């Protein structure tokens, strides 16, 4: 079965190419069958491969595809690498991806560009699979750029809207900044290790200059923060919500944005060799999770709340990576994929029912009108706030416990994680209360409430996984080494739950819509500051965008060309001046000749 | 070396001249026949070059001006084959894009097209510096004519500018060539223009440096390198589509080719000494080209500046003189040849439809022309270095190699990766996304066929770059053995 590994990415790729070649000639039902069917096959195949893989004692498996880059002295094959880490990533991508594709088929069915949509979605899955399966950093980079491209295309899917187009561009360019950092990291790694094959690098016994290695690692982190929307390259993610909601679920919650986490986990042996680098990773995660939590609290757009929440949860994963809990980080990556996909898809169902209304203050009272969807939302949110027993609980706990103990993290970062848990609870229940309780702030007919079955079918597996996914036991011992089980005082283990309860209580007090007054967003200066993403957009606008635009305006005609224009002008002028002397008057010529002779004689006398 | 095929080899140069004359004549008799004759002759030449390539390296040498020991000497090796095939393939593209575009003097147009192809192939094959110079001039004149006669609104200005820049710089080259021949006379007792014979000369450091500069400037103008680039945006913008395709696709590469064939092997020590300056200028070209590309609102002008940026990578790679970097230079030459020609032909199709090149007057064209939009997107993505497509390999190899030698320069050059994304998306989104400004007709079958072939080529060379590298391996390894002996 493992020989079929290459078929898994090939399935969505084939589907994407087929859909592209027959653009406009397939009926929506054919499109959905191809787009979703290929994903289903990929997911089932992944399952089969995974079962055999674990039955085989999880022995890592390589598959060479073809000779790709004949770099002098370090020829590089395109090859796939299957191990405990990549099989879990594959499972998440194909499994959750399948559900989201299924949902999307129903969600986008009436869109006239549904075929184009599935081209991008399938292509995205292909690229994401290459990212996690690639055995070299270059193949990983191919997937890395590929998912970036698909993200760009899907954010700007409804491309007649200037806002969507701008958001797509922003996402691509901001992540491209990170990608460039990563590319520089690859250059350093290549010059140090003479190879770009991941296994060769991480198992290398070469003695490497630690400062170069530090630089390489920090540049890889640069790439990771770009893709994973962490500080300081996080600004693109909230705007990326311009894409259709299934896209937000698949790309900007479940899979692509976690690529940075995967990258660091994949390259962790390098990070372990460098003093202080994991500490930086932990700090990035901790700062992001708190700041994003604050920003989430100030949003009124349901998708933006979830976007900031994603950012914050990936902050936890970074914290986990920084605290040496690589397995915990990947575990949280998986559970997060379950519950965040669920949250986005339920949000999508709500948005669809509300006729594309995304403002939570225009919803309200949905528990009565949409009981099933609201229950799903509740389950997702409970997993998000790490309600004991839910999937998010186990993974977040694993990260926080490790954080407290790790020498690269410690109690201060743990407290920040706890603060993040409090903020998570606060914004989650704020969302729940405002959307599902209180009076209805919308005008929908009774008929609008009929549940659409395809949407629900795709959600059920996700609901199950969000609720119970924490009981899946993942074994990463061959990748990250044997798991450790630290024993800490009980209060440390229960603190995150306690603050979550406090968050719930405060949300109840502040945000629960009382029956007699409509809930309204508040508009303090601090509130606005948080809502606008804590000033980063403003800063980058002034530091990068505006100077660039100024340069473009001022120098459009190319200053270098002015020099050549001057040369041309000078010659023409000289010509005009000399033409004056050629006036046909013999007397002038005579004077000229005499003056010339006098000048020459004078010069001769002078110099001799 | 196979010497039997010498007559055949010369056909690569004389056949396009002959067919050009035939096409000119035939078009007068029968309207539309010029297109077909040009197409068939180029296809025939392509097959011929494949045949010659399959026989291995070949060469030819006829005495020409015996008094000065000047030969009509050609050398056809792997690298030359690569360049000739690229030339012919893009020339076919040039014919295809101008199938309906050219209205006046169609016969003369094809004559000029084939004439410049002959000149370009000559440049790639010449093994004698005097002959090289002759071909260098031969390709210039028909190209100027193409711009001057069939160009757009400011064609006179652009053509004269192009001519003056190239002419002035090639004058320096001529001086350097003559000086080289004389130097050969002082050292060995007889004049020689042969590339192979000149390679054994040793120079006083100062002499070598000046001679190298003479060639370098001529090639840097063609490449083009900032600050000698300003002829290019005008020439590309004003040229007819076929002219832009040839200019961007091949003519710029003659500069890089000259550096590989002449400057590096003939003046290794001076090149090493000059490398920091050349590499700095290369990086400057990358960054400045990218910034200027972003500043443009004219489709073709934007692509023209992006060419400057990309060719900066070639300069960086060549003067790093490191194995992987040299591979990168070759890959970039081919990849950029295809991708820029592709973008220019797309620009031509758009201009033909809406009579404007301003991206401000485009917008939302995806709605009416989805095929065109998709293929343009692929071209743009190739240009901005999407892995899996040809250009990425070139950039990657260049950066990997030059980082070993010039790390700081390379890090700045890598910023070009961001820059290319900024201008690439700027171009694509302004033209094809956003509110619909204008409706245009989608690609016709003929257009779809050749743009799809370009797409296939970009992916093919992206995934199988070894074909390019195998062809150029001999040239590169000889360059590297020269580098080992060089002392800056």
**pLDDT tens-digit profile of A417-452?**
899 999 999 899 888 888 887 777 776 665 555 556
Instruction: Inform me whether the pLDDT recorded for A513 exceeds 80.
Output: no
Whether residue A180 and residue B414 make contact (CB cut-off 8 A), yes or no, is yes
Closest residue, chain B, to A568 (C-alpha): B161
Chain centroid, CA B130 distance in Å:
21
Task: Say which of A72, A168, A551 has its CB closest to residue B291.
Answer: A551
Choose the weakest-confidence range: A85-89, A488-492, A540-544, B332-336: A488-492
Structure tokens belonging to residue A486: 């630290």
Contact (Cβ atoms closer than 8 angstroms) between residue B119 and residue B139: yes
Taking contacts as CB-CB distances below 8 angstroms, the residues of chain B near A145 are: 386-387
pLDDT of residue A181: 93
Which of A67, A70, A152, A553 has the most B C-beta neighbours within 10 Å, making it the best mutation to test the interface with B? A70
B374-429 per-position pLDDT tens digit: 999 999 999 998 998 999 999 999 999 999 899 999 999 999 889 999 999 999 99
Question: Closest by alpha carbon to B414, among A185, A447, A384?
Answer: A185
Closest residue, chain A, to B411 (C-alpha): A184
B124-172 per-position pLDDT tens digit: 999 899 999 999 988 889 999 989 888 888 889 899 989 999 988 899 9
Asked if B448 has any chain A CB less than 8 Å from its own CB, the reply is no
pTM to 2 decimal places = 0.91
Choose the weakest-confidence range: A511-525, B100-114, B385-399, B433-447: A511-525
Q: Work out the pLDDT band at A549, boundaries 50, 70, 90.
A: confident
A539 or B457, which is more confident: B457
Instruction: Inform me whether the pLDDT recorded for A247 exceeds 60.
Output: yes
Residues of chain B above pLDDT 70, percent: 98
Contact (Cβ atoms closer than 8 angstroms) between residue B369 and residue B443: yes
| Angstrom distance (rounded) from CA A315 to CA A318 | 5
| Angstrom distance (rounded) from CA A443 to CA A451 | 17
Using DSSP's 3-state secondary structure scheme, residue B365 falls into coil
Whether residue A20 and residue B374 make contact (CB cut-off 8 A), yes or no, is yes
- The number of residues making up chain B comes to 488
Whether residue B414 and residue A183 make contact (CB cut-off 8 A), yes or no, is yes
Alpha helices per DSSP H over A56-83: none
Taking contacts as CB-CB distances below 8 angstroms, the residues of chain B near A141 are: 387
Alpha helices per DSSP H over A108-209: 114-133, 137-155, 162-193, 198-202
Element (H, E) at A38: helix A28-55
Instruction: Inform me whether the pLDDT recorded for A527 exceeds 90.
Output: no
**What Rg, from alpha-carbon coordinates, does chain A have?**
30
Most confident of A41-45, A65-69, B19-23, B351-355: A41-45
Closest residue, chain B, to A131 (C-alpha): B387
Whether residue B233 and residue A188 make contact (CB cut-off 8 A), yes or no, is no
Chain centroid, CA B46 distance in Å:
17
- Detail the DSSP E strand segments found in A292-416: none
Q: Is B321 left (phi over 0), alpha (psi -120 to 50) or beta?
A: left
Using DSSP's 3-state secondary structure scheme, residue A569 falls into helix
Q: Work out the pLDDT band at A24, boundaries 50, 70, 90.
A: confident
Structure-derived torsion over alpha carbons of residues A74, A78, A83, A87, reported in degrees to the nearest 10: 150
Whether residue A71 and residue B386 make contact (CB cut-off 8 A), yes or no, is no
- Three-state SS across A538-567? HHHHHHHHHHHHHHHHHCCCCHHHHHHHHH
pLDDT of residue A519: 54
| Mean pLDDT of all residues in A408-417 | 85
| Angstrom distance (rounded) from CA B446 to CA B316 | 38
Question: Closest by alpha carbon to B23, among B9, B4, B41?
Answer: B41
Asked if B319 has any chain A CB less than 8 Å from its own CB, the reply is no
Asked if B437 has any chain A CB less than 8 Å from its own CB, the reply is no
Closest residue, chain B, to A190 (C-alpha): B400
Taking contacts as CB-CB distances below 8 angstroms, the residues of chain A near B161 are: 564
A363 or B88, which is more confident: B88
Asked if B449 has any chain A CB less than 8 Å from its own CB, the reply is no
Mention every residue, 6+ apart, whose C-beta is less than 8 A from residue A586.
none
pLDDT of residue A520: 62
Task: Say which of A187, A553, A563 has its CB closest to residue B399.
Answer: A187
Asked if B438 has any chain A CB less than 8 Å from its own CB, the reply is no
The CA distance from A145 to the nearest CA of chain B, in Å, is 7
Using DSSP's 3-state secondary structure scheme, residue A8 falls into helix
| Mean pLDDT of all residues in A164-174 | 90
Task: Say which of B324, B327, B364 has its CB closest to residue A160.
Answer: B364
Asked if B370 has any chain A CB less than 8 Å from its own CB, the reply is yes
Asked if B386 has any chain A CB less than 8 Å from its own CB, the reply is yes
A344-358 per-position pLDDT tens digit: 988 888 888 777 778
Whether residue B400 and residue A146 make contact (CB cut-off 8 A), yes or no, is no
Contact (Cβ atoms closer than 8 angstroms) between residue A85 and residue A266: yes
Whether residue B323 and residue A156 make contact (CB cut-off 8 A), yes or no, is no
Instruction: Inform me whether the pLDDT recorded for A25 exceeds 70.
Output: yes
Q: Work out the pLDDT band at B2, boundaries 50, 70, 90.
A: very low
Q: Give the side-chain half-sphere CA count within 13 A for B280.
A: 5
| Mean pLDDT of all residues in B215-235 | 90
Question: Closest by alpha carbon to B137, among B120, B124, B151, B159?
Answer: B120
Question: Closest by alpha carbon to A72, among A201, A216, A194, A202?
Answer: A194
pLDDT of residue B424: 92
Question: How big is the A-B interface in CB pairs under 8 Å?
Answer: 123
A584 or A37, which is more confident: A37
Whether residue B418 and residue A177 make contact (CB cut-off 8 A), yes or no, is yes
Choose the weakest-confidence range: A203-207, B220-224, B292-296: A203-207
pLDDT of residue B1: 46
| Angstrom distance (rounded) from CA A121 to CA A12 | 9
Taking contacts as CB-CB distances below 8 angstroms, the residues of chain B near A177 are: 418
A519 or A436, which is more confident: A436
Whether residue A563 and residue B227 make contact (CB cut-off 8 A), yes or no, is yes
| Mean pLDDT of all residues in B440-447 | 86
Asked if B85 has any chain A CB less than 8 Å from its own CB, the reply is no
Contacts 24+ apart (CB under 8 A), A187-193: A187/B399, A187/B400, A187/B403, A187/B410, A187/B414, A188/A212, A188/A215, A188/A216, A188/A219, A188/B403, A189/A137, A189/A216, A190/A74, A190/B400, A190/B403, A191/B400, A191/B403, A191/B404, A191/B407, A192/A216
Contact (Cβ atoms closer than 8 angstroms) between residue B479 and residue B264: yes
Contacts 24+ apart (CB under 8 A), B476-481: B476/B323, B476/B326, B476/B327, B476/B330, B478/B265, B479/B260, B479/B264, B479/B265, B479/B321, B479/B326, B480/B323, B480/B326
Contact (Cβ atoms closer than 8 angstroms) between residue A284 and residue A231: yes
| Angstrom distance (rounded) from CA B123 to CA B420 | 31
Q: Work out the pLDDT band at A319, boundaries 50, 70, 90.
A: very high
Residues of chain A above pLDDT 90, percent: 28
Element (H, E) at B16: helix B6-29
Using DSSP's 3-state secondary structure scheme, residue A184 falls into helix
The CA distance from A563 to the nearest CA of chain B, in Å, is 10
The CA distance from B113 to the nearest CA of chain A, in Å, is 28
Question: Closest by alpha carbon to B468, among B289, B302, B329?
Answer: B329
Task: Say which of B230, B295, B296 has its CB closest to residue A551.
Answer: B295
Whether residue A71 and residue B294 make contact (CB cut-off 8 A), yes or no, is no
| Mean pLDDT of all residues in B69-81 | 87
Whether residue B226 and residue A176 make contact (CB cut-off 8 A), yes or no, is no
Asked if B227 has any chain A CB less than 8 Å from its own CB, the reply is yes
Taking contacts as CB-CB distances below 8 angstroms, the residues of chain B near A76 are: none
Task: Say which of B388, B397, B411 has its CB closest to residue A71.
Answer: B397
- The number of residues making up chain A comes to 608
Integer CA distances (angstroms), B289 to A404, B116, B232, B320, in order: 50, 27, 11, 20
pLDDT of residue B455: 94
Closest residue, chain A, to B419 (C-alpha): A173
């Amino acid at each position: 079965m493992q020989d079929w590994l290459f078929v898994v990415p090939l399935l969505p790729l084939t589907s994407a190419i087929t859909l592209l070649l027959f653009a406009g000639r397939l009926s929506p039902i054919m499109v959905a069958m191809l787009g979703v069917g290929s994903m289903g096959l990929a997911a089932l195949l992944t399952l089969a491969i995974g079962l055999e893989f674990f039955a085989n004692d999880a022995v890592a498996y390589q598959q060479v595809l073809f000779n790709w880059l004949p770099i002098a002295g370090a020829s590089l094959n395109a090859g796939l690498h299957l191990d405990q880490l990549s099989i879990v990533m594959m499972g998440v991508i194909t499994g959750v991806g399948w559900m989201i594709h299924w949902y999307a088929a129903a969600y986008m069915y009436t869109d006239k560009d549904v075929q184009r949509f599935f081209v991008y979605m399938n292509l995205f899955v292909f690229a994401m699979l290459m990212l996690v399966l690639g055995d070299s950093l270059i193949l990983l980079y191919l997937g890395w750029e590929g998912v970036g491209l698909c993200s760009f295309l899907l954010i700007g899917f409804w491309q007649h809207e200037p806002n969507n187009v701008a958001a797509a561009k922003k996402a691509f360019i901001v992540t491209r900044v990170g990608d460039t950092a990563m590319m520089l990291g690859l250059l350093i790694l290549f010059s140090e290790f003479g190879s770009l094959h991941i296994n060769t690098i991480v198992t290398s016994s070469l003695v490497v200059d630690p400062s170069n290695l530090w630089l390489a690692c920090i540049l890889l982190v640069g790439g990771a923060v770009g893709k994973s929307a962490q500080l300081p390259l996080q600004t693109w993610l909230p705007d990326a919500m311009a894409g259709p909601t299934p896209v937000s679920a698949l790309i900007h919650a479940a899979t692509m944005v976690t690529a940075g986490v995967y990258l660091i986990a994949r390259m962790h042996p390098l990070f372990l060799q460098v003093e202080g680098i994991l500490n930086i990773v932990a700090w990035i995660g901790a700062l992001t999770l708190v700041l994003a939590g604050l920003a989430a609290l100030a949003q009124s757009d349901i998708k933006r709340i979830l976007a900031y929440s994603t950012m914050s949860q990936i902050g936890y994963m970074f914290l986990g990576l920084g605290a040496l809990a690589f397995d915990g980080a990947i575990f949280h990556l998986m559970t997060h994929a379950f519950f965040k996909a669920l949250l986005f898809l339920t949000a999508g169902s709500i948005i669809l029912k509300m006729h594309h209304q995304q403002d939570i203050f225009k919803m309200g009272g949905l528990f009565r009108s949409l009981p099933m969807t609201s229950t799903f939302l509740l389950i997702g949110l409970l997993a998000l706030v790490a309600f004991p027993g839910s999937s998010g609980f186990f993974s977040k706990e694993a990260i926080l416990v490790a954080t407290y103990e790790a020498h690269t993290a410690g109690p201060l970062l743990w407290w920040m994680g706890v603060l993040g848990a409090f903020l998570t609870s606060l914004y989650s229940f704020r969302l729940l209360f405002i959307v599902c309780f209180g009076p209805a702030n919308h005008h929908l007919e009774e008929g609008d409430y009929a549940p659409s079955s395809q949407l629900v079918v795709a959600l059920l597996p996700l609901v199950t996984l969000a609720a119970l996914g924490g009981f899946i036991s993942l074994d990463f011992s061959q990748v990250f080494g044997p798991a450790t089980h630290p024993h800490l005082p009980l209060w440390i283990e229960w603190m995150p739950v306690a603050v979550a309860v406090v968050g719930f209580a405060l949300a109840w007090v502040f945000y629960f819509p009382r029956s007699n007054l409509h809930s309204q967003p508040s508009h303090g200066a601090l509130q606005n500051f948080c809502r606008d993403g804590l000033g980063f957009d403003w800063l980058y606008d002034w530091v990068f965008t505006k100077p660039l635009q100024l340069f473009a305006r001022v120098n459009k005609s190319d200053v270098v060309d002015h020099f050549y224009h001057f040369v041309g002008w000078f010659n023409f002028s000289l010509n005009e001046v000399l033409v004056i002397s050629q006036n046909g008057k013999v007397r002038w010529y005579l004077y000229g000749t005499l003056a010339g002779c006098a000048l020459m004689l004078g010069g001769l006398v002078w110099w001799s | 070396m196979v010497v039997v095929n010498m007559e055949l080899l010369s056909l690569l140069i004389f056949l396009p001249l002959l067919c050009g004359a035939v096409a000119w004549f035939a078009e007068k008799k029968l309207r539309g026949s010029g297109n077909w004759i040009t197409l068939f002759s180029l296809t025939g030449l392509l097959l011929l070059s494949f045949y010659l390539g399959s026989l291995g390296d070949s060469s030819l040498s006829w005495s020409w001006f015996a008094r000065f020991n000047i030969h009509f000497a050609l050398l056809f090796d792997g690298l030359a084959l690569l360049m000739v095939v690229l030339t012919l393939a893009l020339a076919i593209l040039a014919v295809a894009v101008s199938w309906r575009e050219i209205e006046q003097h169609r016969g003369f147009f094809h004559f000029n097209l084939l004439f410049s192809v002959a000149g370009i192939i000559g440049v790639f094959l010449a093994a004698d510096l005097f002959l090289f110079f002759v071909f260098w001039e031969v390709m210039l004149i028909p190209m100027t004519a193409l711009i001057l006669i069939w160009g757009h609104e400011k064609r006179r200005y652009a053509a004269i500018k192009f001519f003056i820049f190239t002419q002035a710089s090639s004058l320096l080259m001529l001086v350097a060539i003559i000086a080289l021949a004389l130097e050969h006379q002082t050292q060995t007792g007889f004049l020689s223009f042969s590339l192979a014979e000149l390679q054994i000369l040793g120079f006083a450091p100062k002499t070598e440096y000046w001679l190298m500069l003479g060639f370098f400037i001529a090639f840097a103008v063609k490449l083009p390198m900032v600050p000698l680039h300003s002829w290019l945006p005008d020439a590309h913008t004003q040229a007819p589509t076929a002219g832009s395709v040839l200019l961007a696709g091949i003519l710029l590469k003659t500069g890089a080719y000259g550096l590989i064939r002449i400057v590096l092997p003939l003046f290794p020590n001076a090149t090493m000494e000059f490398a920091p300056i050349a590499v700095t200028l290369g990086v400057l070209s990358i960054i400045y080209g990218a910034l200027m590309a972003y500043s443009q609102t004219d489709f073709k002008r934007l692509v023209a500046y992006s060419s400057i940026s990309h060719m900066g990578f070639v300069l960086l790679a060549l003067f790093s003189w490191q194995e992987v970097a040299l591979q990168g230079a070759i890959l970039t030459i081919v990849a950029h040849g295809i991708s820029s020609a592709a973008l220019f032909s797309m620009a031509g199709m758009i201009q033909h439809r809406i009579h404007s090149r301003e991206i401000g007057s485009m917008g939302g064209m995806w709605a009416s022309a989805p095929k065109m939009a998709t293929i343009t997107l692929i071209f743009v993505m190739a240009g901005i270095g999407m892995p899996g497509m040809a250009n990425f390999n070139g950039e990657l190899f260049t950066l990997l190699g030059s980082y070993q030698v010039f790390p700081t320069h390379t890090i700045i050059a890598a910023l070009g990766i961001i820059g290319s994304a900024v201008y690439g998306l700027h171009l694509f989104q302004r033209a094809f996304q956003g509110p619909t400004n204008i409706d245009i007709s989608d690609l016709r079958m003929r257009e779809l066929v050749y743009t799809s072939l370009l797409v296939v080529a970009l992916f093919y060379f992206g995934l199988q770059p070894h074909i390019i590298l195998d062809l150029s391996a001999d040239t590169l390894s000889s360059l590297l053995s020269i580098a080992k002996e060089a002392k800056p």
